Structure 1
Amino acid sequence: MPARFKDLALDARDHQALADWWCTAIGYARREDPGGQRPAEWPVPIHDPAGLGPLIWINPVPEEKAVKNRMHLDVWGVPEEFEALGARLLRRRGDDIDWHVMADPEGNEFCVFEEKR
């Protein structure tokens, strides 16, 4: 049997703050631990309250991000709204690409696709 997709994982130096940032940015919420309080040093699971998106684990790591991500998130949204939350625009949509390349507050790249109206 082939493997099946489970979750996404994103590394962060300040995993608590980055979990909150992504919750605000994409409308996710922290998934509460049914067994009680999750220790602050543990990874933080965030989820789509509507149940449409994948579970994302924000994992604590000691090192700063150093090179381009080999895997990243693609999201629907408005680049200016992400910038207002603290993201950086790395590359604007243009003739050669149909999306904006951005970085979250810790430098993790993600692509923003604007919905056609």
Structure 2
Amino acid sequence: MAGKFKDLCLDARDHQAVADWWCSAIGYVRRDSVRGEERPEEWPVPIVDPAGEGPLIWVNPVPEGKVVKNRMHLDVWGDPAEFEALEARVVREKGGDVEWWVMADVEGNEFCVFEL
């Protein structure tokens, strides 16, 4: 075996705000709030599924903004309108040969929404 999956990582200029956005969008919480830890604000923010079912996601601070399409992205179950209400942007609507919505978070990171 060459390796074993550990975590997902997402880069963001405002990693604190993006971590909060994803917590609201998919029901995650900051891992530090669960553990009672405090991390310096400039450190990456780990967010987790409080039910323990989803993977740990690290939201990492980076100095540059997003420029091109993500090479890797998240797929989520949900209602596109609810993501839009959280200020996600529709990149491509479901239809034709595509059975999901392509959306972008508040910093433009693409993700796919599969309706429940």
Interval of TM-score (by shorter of Structure 1 and Structure 2)? over 0.9
1:92-111 equivalent positions in 2, closer than 5 A: 92-111=93-112
Aligned identity (percent) is 73
Aligned-pair distance for 1:35? 8.0
1:14-53 equivalent positions in 2, closer than 5 A: 14-32=14-32, 34=35, 36-53=37-54
Decide which moves more: 26-35 or 71-80: 26-35
Give the alignment's TM-score, normalised by structure 2. 0.96
Counterpart in 2 of 1:73?
74
- How many equivalent residue pairs? 115
Give the alignment's TM-score, normalised by structure 1. 0.95
Structure 2: unaligned runs, 5 residues or longer: none
For the residues of structure 1 that align with 2:55 and 2:89, how far apart are their CA atoms? 24
Letter in 2 for 1:53: G
For residues 32-86 of structure 1, the C-alpha deviation after alignment (integer angstroms, 9 at most, x for no partner) is 1758420000000000000110000000000000000000000000000000001
Structure with more helix by fraction: 2
Structure 1: unaligned runs, 5 residues or longer: none
Counterpart in 2 of 1:6?
6
